[in-house]
Amino acid sequence: MLLLLVALILAMGGVMLLNKAYTPEYGLDLAGGTTVTLQPITPNGSAPSEESINLAVNIIRDRVNGTGISDAEVAKAGDNIVISVPGVGQEEVVKLVGTTAELRFRQVMAIAAGAPAPPGEMPTQAPTPAASPTATGEGRQSTPKPSATVQPSPSGTPAGRGLSSALTDPSPASSARPSGSAAPSAQPSVLPTEDPMAGVDPTGIDPAVLKEFEALDCSKKDRGQGAQDDPNKQFVGCSDDGSAKYVLDKAAVTGTAIDSATVGQEQSTGEWLVQLSFKGEGPQQWSKVTTTAFNSQAPRNQVAMVLDGVVISAPVIQEPITGGRAQISGSFTQVTATELANQLKYGALPLKFEKSSIEEVSSTLGADQLRGGLIAGAIGLALVVVYSMLYYRGLGVVSVLSLGVATVLTYQSVVLLGDYAGFRLSLPHIIGLIVSIGITADSFIVYFERIRDEMKEGRRSLRAAVEVAWVRARRTILIADAVMFIAAVVLYFLAVGGVAGFAFAMGLTTLIDIVVVFMFTKPFVALLARLKFFAKGHKLSGLDAERMSVQPVAGPKTVSQEA
């Protein structure tokens, strides 16, 4: 057990070195951050309803602090929503909280070049959707068509990232740019034309939508990216890179049909992707739209995926897909894939917002309070150490080392959680960690007292007493830690803000206490029991006959504690 614990500590230390993460991340009260005020916009300019504001607050809180450990704060201020995100320079996070982030699946009705032909360039008679991406059912393979590949747009927002291979093996679209991704943003290749309506079949398309499609220029910055598209109407939109524009049918599947959105990696390429599964009528709707597209002529054999009004992919459907699942892939990192998954998982905002102000704020407590918290923890730790050494003498070394091991594991856990899970250390967390000193002390006190009770009977050697006492003490330790952990879990899920942070820290240290007691305290005491200093009951061992209250027998000899 001791070797396993050493390996665990070294492994966690190695991960810290590889990630160059040596110190914890701090929360709003200790490090300051960015505060953004969002102002709601309603279609008729009227005040938003209280219900919609409350719903938006809950969704945004889940997005910026979904795990409850990032120390982000979301609050209402009249009709506005004030968001405080820990750390300086968090604008990239703030950009995500006000978007709808609702994915819609729409059948493609028409495609054209996103921008007019440059002067002097020979126009073509019609758009050329060559080498479009493909889609097949789960577990089947499609053969990609040979072509050059598209490089996904490296935008930091979800709308600017490529979406393909959801549907398994999309073939890349033709372009002059090379791709570094196995599943690129697969947009159909469309050559610029002087007549954007050349080759467009107007059947089934609303005339007003056709006029909007003809006038749309995707090369302009105000091309409508991020718009809240109406799922019950046909829609005109641009691709994420502006190279193509689309007429899309009414939404066949909306984001509300998404059951789960999780982050994963493609096993063969290591590419990060977002995996979707549908709920309710979602699987049937997905099967229906892919079947309709499969039975249609190009370009209506494609299904576009629209995120916040942007067409991020439009793969060709080669067969109906009945699995009720999809994958979003492209130029994702783990962070950007997680951001998008969280947006889709936590739903769309009921209102559209604009950022009325963004400002950096200083910490409310800062270094002085952090120093005070650390000093309080050090004083508490020192008092426990002094008490242990005075009362348990030699056994007190075990308690001191146990606290040291617990401190190392706690520090490593806090640093790694900050690096991987966005955990930010705030004053409530520090209070929870200080309280954990008592939890750890309780565990070895229970064990030591059980050993002494076994020794006081005078019939057991120390080595036998250590094992018998452990069998009886571990049940008490586990029950006590279980009660503490249950309390922490309940508090974490029922509370928000600093109280939830306190509960998280308390639950974390309770688990660490179990690890330390089982993997260090008990094995180390078993090793010490082999030493004559403890086995013979030296006066400084804490296990001498006088402290064990063993009565001497007739004659000059006393009962030996060593079998």
pLDDT digits (tens, 9 = 90+) for 267-317: 888 888 888 888 888 899 989 999 999 999 989 999 888 877 788 778 788
The phi and psi torsions of 549 (rounded to 5 degrees) equal 60, 40
**DSSP 3-state of 355:** strand
Share of residues in the chain with pLDDT > 90 (%): 17
- Where does the pLDDT of residue 510 fall: very low under 50, low under 70, confident under 90, or very high at 90 and above? very high
Tokens describing residue 66: 């979904």
pLDDT at 520: 93
Least confident of 31-35, 96-100, 259-263, 406-410: 96-100
457 against 381, higher pLDDT: 381
Nearest 10 degrees: Cα torsion 376, 377, 379, 383: 140
| Beta-carbon contacts of residue 396 (< 8 Å; ≥ 6 apart) | 385, 388, 389, 390, 542
Same fold, 103-347 and 366-548: no
pLDDT at 189: 46
pLDDT at 489: 92
**DSSP 3-state of 107:** strand
Q: Under CATH, domain 366-548 is a member of which superfamily?
A: Multidrug efflux transporter AcrB transmembrane domain (1.20.1640.10)
Spell out the domain ranges in the chain. Answer: 33-98+349-361, 103-347, 366-548
pLDDT digits (tens, 9 = 90+) for 172-231: 332 322 222 333 333 444 545 556 666 688 889 999 998 888 888 888 755 444 455 778
125 against 476, higher pLDDT: 476
Is the pLDDT confidence value at 477 over 90?
yes
Average pLDDT value over all residues in the chain: 75
Is the pLDDT confidence value at 375 over 70?
yes
Mean pLDDT of 331-359: 75
pLDDT at 131: 36
**DSSP 3-state of 442:** helix
Concatenate the DSSP letters of all residues of 147-202 into one string.
---PPPP--SSGGGS---STTS-PPPPP-SS----SS---PPB----S-TTTT---
User: How far is Cα 67 from Cα 349, in angstroms, rounded to an integer?
Assistant: 19
Strands 310-313 and 103-113: unpaired
In angstroms, the Cα distances linking 115 to 205, 213, 370, 544 are 21, 11, 56, 90
C-beta separation of 504 from 414 below 8 A: no
| Architecture of the domain delimited by 103-347 | 2-Layer Sandwich (3.30)
404 against 438, higher pLDDT: 404
235 against 497, higher pLDDT: 235
Mean pLDDT of 14-41: 85
pLDDT at 179: 28
pLDDT digits (tens, 9 = 90+) for 481-498: 999 999 999 988 887 667
pLDDT at 66: 61
6 against 319, higher pLDDT: 6
Is the pLDDT confidence value at 402 over 70?
yes
Tokens describing residue 231: 């799922």
Is the pLDDT confidence value at 424 over 80?
yes
pLDDT at 364: 65
CATH number of 33-98+349-361: 3.30.70.3400
Task: Tell how many helices (H) and how many strands (E) occur in the chain.
Answer: 15, 14
- Where does the pLDDT of residue 365 fall: very low under 50, low under 70, confident under 90, or very high at 90 and above? low
Least confident of 191-195, 319-323, 412-416, 540-544: 191-195
pLDDT at 517: 93
Residue type, 411: Y
